[in-house]
Amino acid sequence: MATVQHHAIGRFSEQQAATLEAGRSAILQEAAGLMALASSIDDKFAKAVNAILGAERRVIVTGIGKSGHIGRKIAATFASTGTTAFFLHASEAAHGDLGMVTSGDLLLVLSNSGFSQELRPLLAYARRNGVPVIGIVSKIHSPLGQAADIVLQLPDAAEACPVRVAPTTSTTMMLALGDALALAVMQRRGITRNDIAQWHPGGEIGSRIGPVDEVINCNDPLPLVAWDTPMRDIVFEMTSGGKGVAGVIGKEGGLIGIITDGDLRRAFDQVLTARAIDIMTRDPITVPSGTPVEEVLTIMNEAKITVLFVTAADNPATPIAIAHIHDLVP
């Protein structure tokens, strides 16, 4: 019985090792394709970027099969980085959707072989109507390679699948090349983080690079106390605020300090005599209205704090809201 178990464990270990090796091999094969792609970038890439920048209307990305799936992502990347773009399914194009393509547009056509039949009506339509075509293809003498105004040729790299057939390395290279085009165009357009924030109001990206004002509630009443407030009253104010802090307002009406739960514990023996000014932390860390969330989180992490006041953009002494780390991390 022990011998049977030993053999079973041995077979499992061999299978596990083979599985891990297969995974590593696939990744390394695709990485090799990406390295070859990076080395192949030449002036045609720059021409493609110039053509995209010069398009009067939109970049229309198209493809069929796995290339089509990659095309959808590339179109989305263009759109999210400042270039108006959408994906057109190559098969649907021949059944009426060619009406989506008009003068002033630019076609970005993806096909590993370049021989896909579904692309031919689209390429012919583009030629008749003067729509420029950028082709991403491995075979330069294919119909797509011959029809495109600018050809970005994929390197001759083996597919990562065990039988070297399923689109893997080729689609990875297409995706990387599409990203490279979109990001090079983005750089030329001078797109900023604020621009990206406008196009990503939702999800993790929006919550990270958007202004802190859009994440926190600026209408909540603030836990603020005057500089001479007795310590026992400070406790009540902090409890009602629910954030574990109270801001201290000075004689001139501006924020001069902050009191935390820790400050209260350290001054507990003065509970009957201490005032806010006696136990507060002076010159508290604040951020102005409009500060990106990720910048606020960086400030909190570096200062090892979990809460701070957001102040008016034009007056750092005027608190308008509280930002707690739990409000900023999705």
156-201, pLDDT tens digit by residue? 998 988 888 888 999 999 999 999 999 999 999 998 877 777 776 6
Cα 230 from Cα 244, distance rounded (Å) = 17
Q: What is the pLDDT of residue 203?
A: 61
* Strand pairing report for 133-137 and 106-110: parallel
Domain extent listing, the chain: 2-191, 212-328
pLDDT of residue 1: 55
Q: pLDDT at position 37, please? A: 95
Query: Could you tell me how far CA 34 lies from the centroid of its own chain?
Result: 21
Ranges of the chain whose pLDDT falls below 70: 1-12, 200-207, 241, 330
Q: Does domain 212-328 have CATH number 3.30.390.10?
A: no
Which pLDDT does position 204 carry in this prediction? 63
Share of the chain above pLDDT 70, in %: 93
d(CA 312, CA 151): 53
Confidence (pTM) = 0.72
pLDDT of residue 197: 73
For 131, the token pair is 């729509």
pLDDT score of 24: 93
Is 212-328 the same fold as 2-191?
no
68-75: long-range contacts, CB 8 A cutoff, minimum separation 24: 68/110, 69/171, 70/110, 70/171, 70/174, 70/175, 70/178, 71/108, 71/110, 71/178, 73/175, 73/178, 74/108, 74/110, 74/174, 74/175, 74/178, 74/179, 74/181, 74/182
Which CATH number is associated with domain 2-191? 3.40.50.10490
- On whether the CB atoms of residues 89 and 98 are closer than 8 A, the answer is no
